[in-house]
Amino acid sequence: MRIALGVSYNGQPWRGWQSQPSRQTVQDALEAALERFATAPIRTVCAGRTDAGVHGLMQVVHFDTAIDRPEFSWVRGPNSFLPPGIAVQWARRVPDEFHSRACATARRYAYVLLQSPVRPSIEAGRAGWVFQALDQTAMREAAAHLIGEHDFTSFRAAECQAKSPVKHLAHIAITRRGAFQPPPAGSEGCPTGYWRFEFEGNAFLHHMIRNIMGCLVAVGQGVRPSGWMREVLEARSRSKAAPTFMADGLYFLGPRYDPAWGLPERSAAYDWLP
């Protein structure tokens, strides 16, 4: 039978999702836990790979097994063997035609960014950081140039293995989260608060969102005008874009599927994320 799992994880201690010889990846930890629970090797296929330091709120994987157990057992069982920071959120039996990657109609990410004169402490590793105020209008204008189907070569890492740089970016939302607090009287610095950037597209290139974030921050800080984003996009050259932004605040929110598959669209962790 084929089983689909929804998995959440804190990406800080791991070298990304995909299995590596070091065995220090989320996939390696999950498969080791599944093997201990099932007493048989299990190989998983994921909806979307994440880089080192990137978090997952609802990664979806599937695997095939001859072991017939209740769905809840595929949650509690592996979780008893998983390290802190990785947890199976749900399990569903799915038809053999279901494929976590191929059946995904879209993928969603969020980037949480702390704007503050002081570096993160509690949020260290869980939020990006800027110490200069950002211009929301300018960033939204810049992001608008990326909506639609484009060649995203300028935002593609050199080691990207995607067959084509052409992707369809359906949505970018840039919002403030909560009230921004002014700096203490007599001190210098920008107001303190959180930004949330949301991205949805059919697929993403390696480092694509982090490279877009680098450009959005450059525009937000006034280093570049909003129209510069169009120039970077049309140049189709990685050298024209800003440096890759830190991984700390990037979260894979999960894939979207046809409702007919009957899979959850969100996990409890969505309510924790700023």
Encode pLDDT of 145-192 as tens digits: 999 999 999 999 988 889 999 999 999 999 998 889 888 776 678 999
Q: What is the pLDDT of residue 268?
A: 84
What pLDDT, on a 0 to 100 scale, did the predictor assign at position 273? 85
Instruction: Tell me what the mean pLDDT of segment 115-140 comes to.
Output: 95
Distance CA 16, CA 241 (A): 24
Mean pLDDT is lowest, of 50-54, 66-70, 124-128, 159-163, for 159-163
Looking at residue 274, its pLDDT comes to: 80
Residue 89 has pLDDT above 80, yes or no: yes
> Could you say which DSSP state residue 14 is in?
S
Residue type, 233: L
User: For residue 13, is pLDDT > 80?
Assistant: yes
Range in 85-94, 180-189, 248-257 the model is least confident about: 180-189
Spell out the domains of the chain, with CATH numbers in brackets: 2-103 (3.30.70.580), 106-252 (3.30.70.660)
The structure's pTM equals 0.95
State residue 17's pLDDT score: 95
Please give the pLDDT value at position 241.
97
Specify the higher pLDDT residue, 265 or 45: 45
Q: Which of 77, 46, 42 is nearest to 61 (CA)?
A: 46
The mean pLDDT value for 105-110 works out to: 97
pLDDT at 240 over 90: yes
Distance CA 183, CA 179 (A): 13
List C-alpha distances in Å: 269 to 56, 252, 258: 9, 11, 22
| pLDDT at site 136 | 97
Determine which helix (DSSP H) or strand (DSSP E) holds 57, and give its type and residue range.
strand 55-64
Q: What angle do CA 240, 241, 242 make, to 5 degrees?
A: 130
Half-sphere exposure of residue 129, counting CA atoms within 13 Å on the CB side?
Answer: 13
151 is catalytic: no
The answer to whether residue 60 scores a pLDDT higher than 80 is yes
Burial of 236 (0-12, 13-18, 19+ CB in 10 A): middle
173-212 burial: b if 16+ Cβ within 10 Å, else e: ebeeeeeeeeeeeeeeebebbbbbbebbbebbbbbbbbbb
Task: Write down the mean pLDDT value for the chain.
Answer: 95
Two tokens at 80? Answer: 């008893």
Q: How far separated are the first and last CA of the chain, in Å rounded?
A: 37
> Exactly one of 51, 68, 96, 135 is catalytic; which is it?
51
Alpha carbon of residue 112 to chain centroid = 10
Q: What is the pLDDT of residue 121?
A: 95
Q: Helix or strand or coil: residue 95?
A: coil
Q: Do the Cβ atoms of 111 and 251 come closer than 8 Å?
A: yes
